[in-house]
């Protein structure tokens, strides 16, 4: 015996579930071509299969494994009689920093839907878009979901013509804006 401590036992079931979840998330991102897919989505049978059987399940499974891992760490610390709150707070700070960096890189701030009620083909706006025709979404939006910020929508390309500001979700766009948006930009 060389005196080195034994590695802690791994839970094979949790490790396997985590691996399936990570592979599922990876497959979804590969299928979406790392967000490029949403510039001109093609709703077909393959897309439906991926979104139905992989997307929601992979993200949910990864979230479940993440929460379960935190529970197991807290439970193990409690059985040893040690306080886990400092370590838990540190991990939350690290996750918040990762989220902050991600938000600086990923700019998906608004979703435009072809039909009312957030239905139909979707276009994910990732910053100012002076011409929605490039994304084949010119004069197509009927509902808008705003993740953050205030946005200006205009009836013509390059922010020309009549414009209006939005700062809340539009389950149904007003009649004058339904299928009439050609450019969009963040104003705040």
Domain boundaries, the chain: 12-105, 110-186
Indicate the CATH number of 110-186 among 2.60.20.10, 3.40.50.720, 2.60.40.420, 3.40.50.10490. Answer: 2.60.20.10
Q: How far is residue 14's CA from residue 2's CA, in Å, rounded to a whole number?
A: 30
Looking at residue 105, its pLDDT comes to 67
Taking the CA atoms of 71, 73, 76 and 80 in sequence, report the sign of the dihedral they define. negative
Looking at residue 40, its pLDDT comes to 52
Q: Is pLDDT at 162 greater than 90 in this prediction? A: yes
Query: Can you tell me which residue has the tokens 């705003």?
Result: 146
Considering the chain, what percentage of its residues have pLDDT values greater than 70?
86
- Whether the pTM exceeds 0.75: the reply is no
Which of the pair, 135 or 41, is modelled with greater confidence?
135
């Amino acid at each position: 015996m060389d005196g080195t401590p034994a590695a802690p036992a791994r839970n094979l079931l949790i490790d396997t579930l985590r691996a399936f979840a990570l592979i599922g998330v990876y497959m979804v991102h590969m299928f979406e071509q790392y967000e490029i897919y949403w510039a001109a989505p093609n709703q077909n049978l393959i897309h439906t299969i991926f979104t139905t059987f992989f997307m929601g399940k992979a993200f949910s499974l990864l979230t479940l494994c993440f929460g379960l891992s935190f529970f197991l760490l807290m439970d193990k610390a409690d059985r040893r009689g040690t306080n886990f709150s400092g370590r838990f707070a540190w991990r939350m700070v690290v996750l918040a920093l990762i989220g902050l960096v991600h938000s600086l890189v990923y700019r998906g701030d608004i979703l435009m839907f072809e039909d009312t009620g957030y239905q139909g083909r979707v276009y994910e706006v990732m910053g100012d878009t002076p011409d929605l025709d490039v994304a084949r979404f010119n004069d197509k939006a009927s509902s808008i979901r705003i993740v953050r910020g205030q946005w200006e929508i205009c009836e013509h390309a390059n922010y020309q013509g009549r414009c209006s500001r939005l700062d809340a979700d539009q389950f149904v766009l007003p009649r004058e804006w339904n299928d009439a948006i050609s450019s969009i930009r963040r104003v705040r």
